[in-house]
Amino acid sequence: MSKIKDIEILELGEEGEKSSPWSSTILVLRLITSDGEMGYGEAPTTLMTRPVYEEMREVGRIFLNKEVDDIRKNYLEFYKHSFYLPVSMESTAALSAFEIASWDIVGKQYGAPIYNLLGGRVTEDVRAYANGWYDECITPQDFLTKAKEVERMGFTAAKFDPFGPNYDKIDEKGVEKARKIIETLKEKTKLDLLIECHGRFSANSAIRMAEGIEDLDPFFVEEPVHPDQITGLKRLRERTDVRIALGERVLNKNLFLPYFTSDLVDVIQPDVTNVGGIIQGKESAILADSFGVEVAYHNAFGPIQTAATLHLDYSISNFLIQESFEKFWPKWKKGLVKSGYNLDDGHFSLSGKPGLGIEIDEKIIDTYKTQRMEPFNPNEPPWVVKGTFKAR
């Protein structure tokens, strides 16, 4: 057994970042044990970089000097002390980084990749879908031009938000503009089309949107209503046959249960970096499987998150498809992890090395350390892909 003896929290980012604001900074955690083993974790930011950073320091006070193998016990110890944990993204994000880094160390100690410690490999083919590819896209032709590039990269599925500046409400004209974009890609590409709503619509507008595009048979429609409108989601569910996906803002496995028991979702999207880490990510999938619901983990931040998520993909029986921003990251983020997983022709694979199986480029960490918040644009919410929240 070895204890956690050193904790380092690192914020990375680049001045003049051109990627979407929510991923312009990342938080990397480095744990070092009493016997010198090192493990890495990652926490998401999403316009909360510094609050999450500070919460990671709080989690560190619980994990310091604890046995690194006691992953669930250490998780529950923080749960006991953190009064708002189940509904505080700052807390769950910070805790997730420590949980992931602990798994990385434990895997290295046992000489096994994490997925082998979770019961072994079940999924043989980790199909990816592209996201982040449609920056500055406004017109159907804009989307089509870039979607063709996505196809040339080998992807067979892509997610995108065709709703421009519509927020909360969308009228028939707005629906028709979105429909034209979807229709163009459906007719002129071979991609499966995943429609991103970003939880932006009231229930009435979500119903109008869904009824306006359902005949185009999207692969799924993600977060069609505001995440706190569960009753509205139920009304939407009664009015449309589109497949509903959600879950990136669901912060532990228990909070998924109302969606399952009320039959409100077809695909869940837990985020390993805010749901509580690998155990919560795996148990969320197990619960989903009991209700015949598939899993497409949310994965929008950095390469440590991707590696951790792929271990879950390998180990669950109800895997559907995996989100990927990799091809559209800035150079520094692409280079942070030198090895550990590959993305080729739209499919992921892991190295099979112990722990997360990744090798970190320390030069990237040294070069891109920062202490800033994400950029803020008062004319465009930070959750959209850059340059798309514009009138058409």
Residue 377 resides in a domain? no
Asked whether residue 28 falls in the same domain as residue 54, the answer is: yes
Catalytic residue among 81, 298, 311, 347: 298
Residue 363 resides in a domain? no
Looking up tokens 């914020």, which residue turns up? 11
Asked whether residue 302 falls in the same domain as residue 207, the answer is: yes
Q: Which amino acid is at 320?
A: L
Asked whether residue 80 falls in the same domain as residue 209, the answer is: no
Catalytic residue among 81, 198, 226, 347: 198
Last residue of a domain, one of 112, 138, 163: 112
Asked whether residue 312 falls in the same domain as residue 213, the answer is: yes
The tens digit of pLDDT for each residue in 249-284 reads 999 999 999 999 999 999 999 999 999 999 999 999
User: What share of the chain in percent tops pLDDT 90?
Assistant: 91
Largest distance between two CA atoms of the chain: 63
Asked whether residue 92 falls in the same domain as residue 227, the answer is: no
Confidence of residue 19 (pLDDT cuts 50, 70, 90): low
The tens digit of pLDDT for each residue in 78-90 reads 999 999 998 999 9
Average confidence (pLDDT) over 220-228: 97
Asked whether residue 199 falls in the same domain as residue 286, the answer is: yes
| Alpha-carbon gap, residue 195 to 159, rounded angstroms | 6
Asked whether residue 42 falls in the same domain as residue 60, the answer is: yes
Asked whether residue 138 falls in the same domain as residue 73, the answer is: no
The tens digit of pLDDT for each residue in 292-322 reads 999 999 999 999 999 999 999 999 999 999 9
**50 lies in which domain range?**
4-112
Average confidence (pLDDT) over 53-63: 97
pLDDT at 232: 97
Residue 199 resides in a domain? yes
The answer to whether 201 and 225 are in contact (CB under 8 A) is yes
Residue 33 resides in a domain? yes
Last residue of a domain, one of 112, 132, 148: 112
Question: How many domains does the chain divide into?
Answer: 2
The answer to whether 335 and 362 are in contact (CB under 8 A) is no
Residue 367 resides in a domain? no
pLDDT at 245 over 70: yes
Supply 43's token pair: 């926490």
Q: Which residues pair with 240 in a beta bridge?
A: none
Average pLDDT, the chain: 96
The tens digit of pLDDT for each residue in 20-33 reads 777 789 999 999 99
Active site residue 298: yes
> Which pTM value belongs to this model?
0.97
CATH number of the domain enclosing 47: 3.30.390.10
Asked whether residue 206 falls in the same domain as residue 343, the answer is: yes
Average confidence (pLDDT) over 40-45: 94
pLDDT at 220 over 70: yes
Asked whether residue 93 falls in the same domain as residue 186, the answer is: no
| Alpha-carbon gap, residue 376 to 212, rounded angstroms | 33
Residue 390 resides in a domain? no
Q: Phi, psi at residue 219, to the nearest 5°?
A: -55, -45
Q: Phi, psi at residue 327, to the nearest 5°?
A: -70, -10
pLDDT at 240 over 90: yes
Last residue of a domain, one of 71, 96, 112: 112
Residue 140 resides in a domain? yes
The tens digit of pLDDT for each residue in 92-147 reads 999 999 999 999 999 999 999 999 999 999 999 999 999 999 999 999 999 999 99
Confidence of residue 47 (pLDDT cuts 50, 70, 90): confident
Asked whether residue 108 falls in the same domain as residue 151, the answer is: no
The answer to whether 76 and 322 are in contact (CB under 8 A) is no
Residue 273 resides in a domain? yes
Residues sharing a CB contact under 8 Å with residue 187, sequence separation 6 or more, in sequence order: none
CATH number of the domain enclosing 332: 3.20.20.120
Asked whether residue 86 falls in the same domain as residue 232, the answer is: no
| Alpha-carbon gap, residue 128 to 117, rounded angstroms | 24
pLDDT at 155 over 80: yes
Q: Phi, psi at residue 322, to the nearest 5°?
A: -120, 125
